[in-house]
Structure 1
Amino acid sequence: MTVLPLASLLLSGLLLTAAAPAPAEPQSVTVTVTSLVSTTAAVRLYFYNTREGFLKSGKWAFSKSVKPAGKSEFTLPVELPRGEWAVAITQDLNNNDKIDKNFLGIPTEPYAFSNNVRPTVAAPGFDECKFMVDGPGKVVSIVLKD
């Protein structure tokens, strides 16, 4: 008598497992950055996938650092889960591992955002900079601002 309820429990557990959606596979995305100010200074890319954390220190999903190796542009392949993403980029000209700013808080080192958003008065929002990852082969082209 206890075999039937146990078999029923195991079978329903298997059905629930089969019905659960598989985790989204990361998609290949290529980030191309052009117009680097320096061909030797490190470029830092910050990848965000939430509005709340956008441009907040330490709130990025992940970051990458790239040395330009004597070139004024580079291509960086990354794997991103499907969804909305935004990228902020800085180039650390004096290699002090931070983005230098003037007394008003405006960056004095080159920076850029996905969608080539050029803020005039305030930092851009996530919605201005976001792009959709919905399949492989996405290319995000960003021009660094001097």
Structure 2
Amino acid sequence: MRTGKYRALAWVAVVIGGVGSARAGDLTVILDGVAHDQGGLRVGLYDRAESFRKEDRAVAIRTAAASPGQASIGFGQVPAGRYAIMAYHDEDGDGGLDRFMGMIPTEGYALSNDPEVSGPPAFDECAFDIPAEGRAITLKLRY
């Protein structure tokens, strides 16, 4: 009887311990096609449609210096789940994506899944899964 009780407690400890440690993995975003070294790069990670593309409501924002070619930006440990990314080359360093007439990006930008858009991109078009072991995703900047 005592052995069964200890086995049950051990099983609970393994399950609880395993859940906490296996639920997050590293996320690395690779931005391909950075045109030049002016300004900086901004990458936003979003976990819901309501906040997508609103930097002040992102799960996390990462920045990096711009350098022609490719940039690798790490988010560290991210809980497993469904996310979308919007990244841009903040060429003038003003902290926002410049747009013509408030709609059409005039600075380089990238979206996860690289959807064809003819208006504001939707979360579902850009959403991808991050498994517990983490992942790397490559995005191509469009200028």
Structures share a fold, TM > 0.5?
yes
Output the amino acid matched with 2:33: S
Larger Rg: 1
For the pair 1:92 / 2:93, whether they are aligned, the reply is no
Quick check: which one's strand share is greater? 2
* Number of aligned positions between the proteins: 130
1:86–1:132 distance in 2 versus 1, CA, 3 Å: same
In 2, Cα distance between the equivalents of 1:53 and 1:87?
A: 11
Do 2:31 and 2:141's aligned partners in 1 also have CA atoms closer than 8 Å? Answer: yes
Cα deviation 1:73-116 (Å, max 9, x = unaligned):
11122221100011101111112222111125211111110112
TM-score by length of 2: 0.78
Q: Secondary structure at the match of 1:115?
A: coil
Cα deviation 1:5-51 (Å, max 9, x = unaligned):
xxxxxxxxx9xx86868446321122111101222420000000112
Output the amino acid matched with 1:99: L
Tell me the residue number matched to 1:44. 42
In 2, Cα distance between the equivalents of 1:88 and 1:112?
A: 6
Output the amino acid matched with 2:49: R
For the pair 1:142 / 2:135, whether they are aligned, the reply is no
Flag as ranges the 4+ runs of structure 1 deviating above 3 A: 17-25
**Structure 2 regions of 5+ residues with no counterpart?**
1-8
Tell me the residue number matched to 1:9. none
**CA-based RMSD:** 2.3
Q: CA offset at residue 66 of structure 1?
A: 0.7
Aligned identity (percent) is 24
Q: CA offset at residue 134 of structure 1?
A: 1.3
TM-score by length of 1: 0.77
Tell me the residue number matched to 2:28. 30
